[in-house]
């Protein structure tokens, strides 16, 4: 029995020794799905995942300034490509992990119609969007308004958040009656949980292909590579689908 206890203890020590940490910069729209995926990843591997969420533009600046991230889950494809070109991302490691969907959302049930005509009617004072210079979902919102011919009319009504995570509270609190959000912020288990929404047709903005990339600081971290492999797996994809990602 004593030998058995020692053997089990050595096995457990081995598991701890092989467990590592992966530090992930994650786009604000993907923060909640990433938390669920990370919990399952830790349970399966023992590796600890430290997530830092923010706008893709701000995360890029932090990475360029030496922030100790091993991997980036961006809200676009351009930023990982730029990091790869600049030698900060590992060549050949980037891939599309999800395609995001933009929605116009109000906390009020029945207020936003399924064609987004509420924008043209103008019966609201404030429209919340993410900073289009930092957040791809904000840039997509600007494209939608341009194609609808409403950008200059509605620009004075903008309430702007640095990232998409800051936009949702504006609408929930009533500081803005409407807001352009990521579908993932209000969808759970394939259903929009409250309020009313217009799921913006993909043809009104460029596709929001969200890419992941291994950063050079994580090149020699096996946990970082394991995390990116896990992100490609069916468990992670099932979580993404439940939040409305394609």
The structural domains of the chain, ordered by start, are: 2-99+208-242 (3.40.190.10), 101-204 (3.40.190.10)
The pTM assigned to this predicted structure is: 0.84
CB 71 within 8 A of CB 213: yes
135-182 pLDDT, tens digit each:
999 999 999 999 999 999 999 999 999 999 999 999 999 999 999 999
pLDDT in tens, 211-231: 999 999 999 999 999 999 999
- pLDDT in the model for residue 246: 84
pLDDT level of residue 19 (50, 70, 90 thresholds) = confident
The answer to whether 118 touches 178, Cβ cutoff 8 Å, is yes
- Provide mean pLDDT across the span 29-55: 96
Q: Would you say 49 and 96 are in contact if contact means Cβ atoms under 8 Å apart?
A: no
Q: pLDDT tens digits, residue range 43-87?
A: 999 999 999 999 999 999 999 999 999 999 999 999 999 999 999
Residue 10: enclosing H or E segment and its boundaries? helix 2-18
Confidence band for 18, pLDDT divided at 50, 70 and 90: low
What's the CA gap between 92 and 90, in Å, rounded?
A: 6
Strand 208-214 versus strand 95-100 pairing type: antiparallel
- The residue that leads in pLDDT, 4 or 59, is 59
């Amino acid at each position: 029995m004593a030998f058995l206890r020692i053997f089990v203890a050595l096995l457990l020590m081995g598991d701890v020794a092989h467990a590592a940490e992966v530090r992930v910069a994650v786009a604000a729209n993907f923060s909640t799905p990433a938390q669920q995926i990370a919990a399952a990843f830790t349970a399966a591997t023992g590796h600890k995942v430290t997530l830092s969420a923010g706008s893709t533009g701000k995360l890029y600046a932090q990475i360029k300034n030496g922030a100790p991230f091993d991997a980036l889950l961006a809200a676009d494809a351009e930023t990982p490509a730029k990091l790869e070109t600049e030698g900060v991302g590992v060549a050949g490691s980037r891939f599309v992990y999800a395609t995001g969907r933009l929605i116009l959302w109000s906390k009020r049930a029945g207020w936003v119609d399924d064609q987004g005509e509420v924008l043209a009617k103008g019966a609201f004072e404030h429209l919340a969007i993410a900073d289009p210079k930092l957040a791809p979902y904000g840039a997509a919102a600007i494209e939608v308004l341009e194609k609808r011919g409403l950008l200059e009319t509605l620009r004075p009504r903008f309430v702007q958040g640095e990232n998409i995570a800051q936009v949702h509270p504006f609408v929930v609190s009533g500081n803005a009656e409407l807001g352009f959000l990521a579908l993932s912020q209000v969808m759970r288990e394939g259903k929009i949980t409250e309020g009313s929404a217009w799921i913006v047709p993909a043809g009104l903005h460029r596709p929001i292909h969200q890419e992941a990339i291994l950063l050079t600081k994580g090149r020699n971290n096996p946990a970082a590579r394991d995390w990116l492999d896990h992100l490609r797996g069916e468990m992670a994809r099932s979580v993404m689908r439940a939040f409305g990602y394609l």
